[in-house]
Chains A and B, each alone.
Chain A
Amino acid sequence: MNTHLTEEQISQYIAGYDTGEIDGHIAGCAQCSATLASFENIIGQFRGSAGDWAGRECPRIPDIATLSGTFRRSRTRSLRWVAAVATLAAIVAAVPALRKPVEPPVGELEQSRSDEQLLERVNAHLSQSAPASLQPLMEMLPPRSDLKNEGEIR
């Protein structure tokens, strides 16, 4: 039968769970108290190493003049950022209003007009229902709407 404290019970004891039962056992058990002492020793070394490391790396403690200057600078710096962002936003908002509509040059305008006229002429030519040689005959016929009404042509 295991008469010693379990791993969990020892961890509970170290964590500060106050149980008289564990307390009493540790007082009378050499093995469990040795386990506890061993952990406490390691933790002591850990504390020492953390302290040594911080002591070695800790920069010189700044005096209040330096420190308050840094704090004020950081505050001014953040205000400067806000001002910069606001200015940029104002510029971005103002740019479309300041921009004038761009007109194409005169030469380009004339070219596009003549292109349009040419396209219209081509369209008119293509939409003719008979070739040019038959055109006089086509003119002798009544309009298409009249023919439809009479039912002669579908």
Chain B
Amino acid sequence: MQPNATSELLVTDIDNAPAALRKFDEAVQRYWQRVFRFVLASVRDVNEAECLTQDCFCRAYKAWNRFRGDSSVETWLMHIAVNVVRDFFRNRRLQFWRRAPVVDASEIGCILMDRKLSPETNAVVQEQLRNVWAATEILSTKQRTVFLLRFVDEMELSEIAQVMGITEGSVKVHLFRAVHAIRKRLGRSQ
């Protein structure tokens, strides 16, 4: 992928350079929300999402001087976020005594109630949303990550491949399985 405008944030030594620190701050202000959204949709726990987002930027802070600018800062940060989420789920599997963070899908769907929709339409939308959120829960970590990057972050397949460190073909396979599972779930509920 071609480095875009965000590659200007490239710096060499963050510890000693105030300018580098300023650029890192720019990256934080620009991408914090986006990283948080991806992490929250992945782990579905607000407290965990806050911690993991901070962890993601902490890793970026430590590795800032090693970032070569081969990709955009955005892609690089998303790559770190994907790894942070993957590690989180891996640790979760080992900590079998802890309950998986599950948020009631209706709680998420209720946010749309504020929008100006008719009650009937709202009810249908709520139901569909509940089903999509519930369906993403049963996907594998890779399938869910690909699905969220494609449809929540609206990334191109090539970008997703770069962020996840897999081939574009693998991205398509994971995405196909995710979409198929979700459509099946939606079909069953209708």
Contact = CB atoms under 8 A, between A and B. Distances in A.
Contacts of A47: 151-152, 154
A54 B176 contact: no
A61 B28 contact: yes
Nearest to B132: A46
A47 B40 CA distance: 13
B176 A17 contact: yes
30 contacts: A7-B183, A7-B184, A7-B187, A12-B176, A14-B179, A15-B176, A16-B172, A42-B128, A42-B129, A45-B112, A45-B125, A45-B128, A45-B129, A47-B151, A48-B112, A50-B108, A50-B148, A51-B152, A53-B108, A56-B111, A58-B33, A63-B25, A64-B21, A64-B22, A64-B24, A67-B25, A67-B57, A68-B61, A70-B58, A71-B61
B49 interface: yes
B9 interface: no
Interface residues of A, number: 36
Interface in A44-85: 45-59, 61-64, 67-68, 70-71, 74
Interface residues of B, number: 44
Contact of A7 (B33, B58, B61, B180): B180
Interface in B37-79: 37, 40-41, 46, 49-50, 54, 57-58, 61-62
Given A46-B129, A47-B151, A61-B28, 4 more contacts: A8-B180, A54-B37, A71-B61, A71-B62
Interface of A: 7-8, 10-12, 14-17, 39, 42-43, 45-59, 61-64, 67-68, 70-71, 74
B179 A15 contact: yes
A64 B57 CA distance: 11
Interface in B142-190: 148, 151-152, 154, 157, 171-172, 175-176, 179-180, 183-184, 186-187
A47 B179 CA distance: 14
Nearest to B40: A54
Contacts of B40: 50, 53-54, 57
Contact of A43 (B24, B151, B184): B151
Contacts of A57: 40, 46, 49
B129 to A, nearest CB: 6
Given A16-B175, A39-B183, A59-B50, A50 B37 contact: yes
Contacts of A50: 37, 40-41, 108, 148, 152
B36 A54 contact: yes
Contact of A52 (B22, B112, B180): B112
A45 B111 CA distance: 11
A134 to B, nearest CB: 78
A82 to B, nearest CB: 17
A46 B151 contact: yes
